[in-house]
Amino acid sequence: QEHKVEFSCARNMTLTFLPNEKRELDVFFLINKTQPIFMECKTGDYRQELDKYVALRKRLGIDQNHFILCVSDLDQEQSKGLSAMYGMTFVNTQTLGQHFLTLL
């Protein structure tokens, strides 16, 4: 709102694929009616789920910068390394706002 950007937001959104495959996302944003941003928030042990998110990002054709995993206890070096390795954007609670500003 501060940047006068149109957006919509949904929490706990469920995507349904055929046949009966469902994926839940923590947060979905639509910026300026055209730019989808998917975000998952993780704490603790999340690494066993990474392949699931890589496959979902590819299946939906979402740009790496628009598929965000916010992991509270990552430092910047870990975020950069995981982003490069998995083709998604990893941020922590301190760098999330910065990343969103780059998407506007």
For the segment 47-61, what is each residue's pLDDT rounded down to a tens digit? 888 998 999 999 889
What's the pLDDT tens digit per position in 3-43? 788 888 899 988 898 888 888 889 998 887 777 899 999 88
Global pTM?
0.86
Crossing angle of the two packed helices 50-60 and 76-86, in degrees rounded to 10:
60
What are 39's two structure tokens? 């975000």
| pLDDT for the residue numbered 68 | 95
